[in-house]
A and B are shown apart, each in its own frame.
Chain A
Amino acid sequence: MTAAVSVENATKTFGPFTALNDVSLEIAAGEFIVLLGPSGCGKTTLLSILGGFLSPSRGRVLIGGREMTNVTPAKRPTTTMFQDYALFPHMKLKDNVGFGLRMRGMAKTERDEKALGFLDLVGLRTAADKKPHELSGGQRQRVALARALAVDPEVLLLDEPLGALDLKLRRQMQDELKAIQKRVGTTFVHVTHDQEEAMAIADRIVVMNQGRIEDIGAPADIYMRPRSLFSAGFMGEVNFIPGRVTALDPTSATVETALGTVTLSLTAFTAGAPIAGQAVTFCIRPEHFRRAEGEQANLVSLGQARITGQAFFGTHYRCHLAPDAAPDLSLVVHMRQSTHVSDGDAVPLAVPAKDVVVLPGTTKDT
């Protein structure tokens, strides 16, 4: 089963602390949504409001079009998969997975059969008679998933389910989670603070910070065309270069920066059309820099810079560069593995115009 989820102007306060600040979100049925943000950003609070463990102080929640704001977890078409798995330590795996069915009054033989089916889905059918303490972390995680799916929820809520696993296992589980979601078709809402995990599994990512939604979109959109400085910085390494809008015309804007004056199409301004005189920030990913070789169309020249430090990363060299025009600004630039780099080298820097994102404000504001 699957259902759409709608959060309307949800606010949650704990005494003087605002955990969630007027958040609205529409999730389509069958979508894999990831709530991404640092700890304390409100993502877990939002998940608890969806799961029925907290009521919003203001605003409401609809699931499949039905009002759910103050409905208890038991009566919601949601199930939650907890970070610590929360398996019942005294029950066999098949009884753990069959628990929800038992609560729905299903007979023992029938629910055992169904539980075995879900254990099969996560590859643990043979361990059905074991107890949780006999399993590894990854296996427990799979049982928790099977248990949450066994009651056929319309929406599955996952609270940092991969957080306790080591890196290698985490990457492997991401793929499995994605595959299982495709198979069962249930709406997944997944909370994490790991942006690589978010990009690997999400249909859409919701970036959150300080109780607000900063950005929503497909992984590539969020990474390539972030709509907030926080979102740009959180999704991966990025260079922020401050500037000021000096001139505007219907299709482009001219911005003055420490590295020179640049004219860009208005599509570079992802957060809305610029205003003359506005303080703005350029966001450029390290891998988007190019070595400027003569004047090229659609390539923005950023002047000469000198390499001050470099390290080999396998797929590329990661270099620190100090632009000649602004030696205080340290840029992080990825250079091809085939290039020869050494400290002190002068590099003519450029970036394709389509890869530049300009956002209002300065990094000091955030």
Chain B
Amino acid sequence: MRNVLISTVSWVYATLIFGFIFLPVAVLVLFSFQDGRLPVPPFNGFSTQWYAAVFADRKLMAALANSFVVALVSSLIACLLGFLAAYALARHKLPGSALQRGLLIAPMTVSYLIIALGLLTVLNTFGIPLSLWTVGVGHVVINLPLCFAIIYSSMGDHHINIERAARDLGASDFKVMVLVTAPMLMPSILAAFFLSVTFSWDEFIIAFLLSRFDVTLPVEIWSLLRSGLNPKTNAIGSLVFLVSVAALLLLEFTLFRKSGKS
């Protein structure tokens, strides 16, 4: 009897919370197909005109490409630097290694707004023009701690002798890393990389403050918002959502399934 009560309350609660969580996304996707100028009820009928408008918008498409490049390049750099630092600090006794780890993790505890503002101050002082490059630099700053922490925590002591064996058999440091260390840590390196891509792809405030003429997608969407409620915004938002979910499911069924087995 009591169990039934708990069960009922649980299901009602779960349904309500899931409703709350999905409500805005459902509305977003539904009204991206609105046949009319306003993405609010009543639903006038099904139309893909707003998707056509998105693909026809050169600025939006350019921003999409920019976001993609910035996310990819900055994540690659963050992963590479994080991996090298993790390798050095996990495998060698360097003086002040606790301090070094603290320094590398530190940007994680600071708001993106403050990181962006600091960089902006320096760039202004030295008269360096804002561009996608400066956005990328900022994104490496926020993703490097993440990549370092994930890769560092996966470098177990049981890997030490395996790397030694490789060196013993004649491998240079570079070959040890490429042929032995990186393949052994591949799941965590990929996790760090994809997480970085996600964060960079979705990041707004650094991209907003550190870019000027070429902008990333979140910044372009931000400027779309000035036109108020607009089904075109729904369409681009839905597109980003569907692509992210597809990528997520792909990862879930390939990468994590595979790594979970061995």
Contacts and interface: CB of A to CB of B under 8 A. Distances in A.
B41 interface: no
- Which of B164, B165, B184 counts the most chain A CB atoms within 10 A? B165
A83 B164 CA distance: 12
B262 A73 contact: no
Interface residues of A, number: 24
Contacts of A53: 164
Interface stretch (A2-10, A74-82, A262-270, A305-313): A74-82
A82 B165 contact: yes
B175 interface: yes
Contact of B170 (A74, A86, A133): A74
Interface in A300-334: none
A74 B167 contact: yes
A100 B183 contact: no
B169 A86 contact: no
A180 B217 CA distance: 65
B172 interface: yes
Contacts of A74: 167-172
Contacts, number: 59
Contact of B165 (A72, A78, A86, A104): A86
A178 to B, nearest CB: 23
A99 to B, nearest CB: 5
A103 B175 contact: yes
B161 interface: yes
B169 A100 contact: yes
B164 A73 contact: yes
Contact of B180 (A51, A80, A82, A88): A88
Contacts of A103: 169-171, 175
B168 A73 contact: yes
Contact of A86 (B161, B172, B183): B161
Contacts of A73: 164, 167-168
Contacts of A133: 262
- Which of B168, B170, B172 counts the most chain A CB atoms within 10 A? B168
A189 B41 CA distance: 82
A51 B186 CA distance: 29
A70 to B, nearest CB: 15
A124 to B, nearest CB: 18
A80 B164 contact: yes
B161 A84 contact: yes
Contact of B169 (A83, A84, A90, A147): A147
A269 to B, nearest CB: 44
B166 interface: yes
Interface in B210-262: 262
Nearest to A95: B179
Nearest to A73: B168
Contact of B166 (A72, A84, A88): A88
A65 interface: no
Given A103-B175, A133-B262, A87 B170 contact: no
Nearest to B162: A86
A82 B169 contact: no
Contacts of B186: 90
A51 B165 CA distance: 10
Given A88-B180, A89-B184, A82 B170 contact: no
A90 B168 contact: no
A151 interface: yes
A151 B166 CA distance: 12
Contacts of A83: 161
Contacts of B158: 84
A196 B210 CA distance: 71
A184 B164 CA distance: 24
A78 B168 CA distance: 8
B164 A100 contact: no
A104 B170 contact: yes
Contacts of A104: 170
Contacts of A88: 162, 165-166, 180, 183-184
Nearest to B171: A103
A82 B165 CA distance: 8
Given A89-B162, A133-B262, A80 B168 contact: yes
- Which of A51, A74, A80, A100 counts the most chain B CB atoms within 10 A? A74
Contacts of B184: 88-90
B164 A82 contact: yes
Interface string A240-274: 00000000000000000000000000000000000
Interface string A31-64: 0000000000000000000011100000000000
A84 B175 CA distance: 22
Contacts of B172: 74
B168 A79 contact: yes
26 contacts: A53-B164, A74-B168, A74-B172, A78-B168, A79-B168, A80-B164, A80-B165, A82-B164, A82-B165, A84-B158, A84-B161, A86-B161, A86-B164, A88-B162, A88-B165, A88-B166, A88-B180, A89-B162, A89-B184, A89-B262, A90-B186, A99-B166, A103-B170, A103-B175, A104-B170, A133-B262
Given A87-B165, A88-B183, A99-B166, 10 more contacts: A74-B171, A74-B172, A79-B168, A80-B165, A82-B161, A86-B165, A89-B162, A103-B169, A103-B170, A147-B165
Instruction: Rank and list the top 10 A-B pairs by shortest CB-CB distance, nearest first.
Output: A100-B169, A103-B170, A86-B161, A86-B165, A73-B168, A82-B161, A90-B183, A86-B162, A74-B170, A103-B171
Interface of A: 51-53, 72-74, 78-80, 82-84, 86-90, 99-100, 103-104, 133, 147, 151
